[in-house]
A = this chain, B = another copy of it.
Amino acid sequence: MEEKALVLCSGGVDSTTLLAMAVSRYGAKNVYALSISYGQRHNKEIESAKAVAAHYGVEQRFLDLGAIFADSDCSLLSHSSQDIPEESYADQLAESDGKPVSTYVPFRNGLFLSAAASMALSLGCGAIYYGAHHDDWAGNAYPDCSREFVDAMNRAIVEGTGGELHLCAPFVEMSKADIVARGIELGVPYELTWSCYEGGDYPCGACGTCIDRNRAFEANGMRDPLLDRLDAEWAAANAEGEE
């Protein structure tokens, strides 16, 4: 029997690069993309995840786990009273006394990995792919992106499934710039991805994830292909208006 894998796909840069890697290893027909709503402020991530899964021709599953966060006041959630900070993770962390940043969704990644494990096992997959990386950990801005967390979750998944399933997190020691470099080699369609925490037509450029994303493309000597695409679409729409 051919091996199968399930990839947690948020529609962002990291998990899209991961999907490209899984497809190149297992083949598109043996890969499932799982995309999870959790009550975030906008639907752009899920729309991007759909476009990416369609690009690679992989079967996609969706879950809505928003009910679990009904009592959370995390600033990323649509019912939150808090604004999303316009600072890098490092700057936010310096002000937070070592506690997770306000965009940390309580144990979200542990929940996503567990839901992924239940689904992966049901679908006959032997591996879950997870795109946690070193910049997101950022000295504990997101403790559920640390090497220690990933190792413990892998242990829990291996033990709790009687050895049927394990976790692959190849980016856990990598920077986002390294991930983009790998993705460029694989021809990842970054113009289809979305990262910004705000749900505007154009990325805000000011939230933690926009800052992180822009730096990663800059480090690779290029402009974000998403901005190129949006600019081109805007120019085309404008040109039509002038006709």
Contact = CB atoms under 8 A, between A and B. Distances in A.
Contacts of A157: 107, 110
Chain A contact residues, majority secondary structure:
helix
Contact of A106 (B64, B110, B118, B159): B118
A229 interface: no
A94 interface: no
Interface stretch (A65-73, A189-197, A199-207): A65-73
Nearest to A32: B71
A102 to B, nearest CB: 13
A34 B83 CA distance: 30
Given A155-B155, A156-B152, A143 B161 contact: yes
Contacts of A155: 148, 152, 155-156
Q: How many copies of this kind of chain does the complex include?
A: 2
Interface string A160-191: 11100100000000000000000000000000
A58 interface: no
A146 interface: yes
A123 interface: yes
A153 interface: yes
Top 4 closest pairs, chain A to chain B, by CB: A106-B121, A152-B155, A152-B156, A114-B114
Interface of A: 63-65, 67-73, 98-100, 105-111, 113-115, 117-119, 121-123, 140, 143-144, 146, 148-149, 152-153, 155-157, 159-162, 165
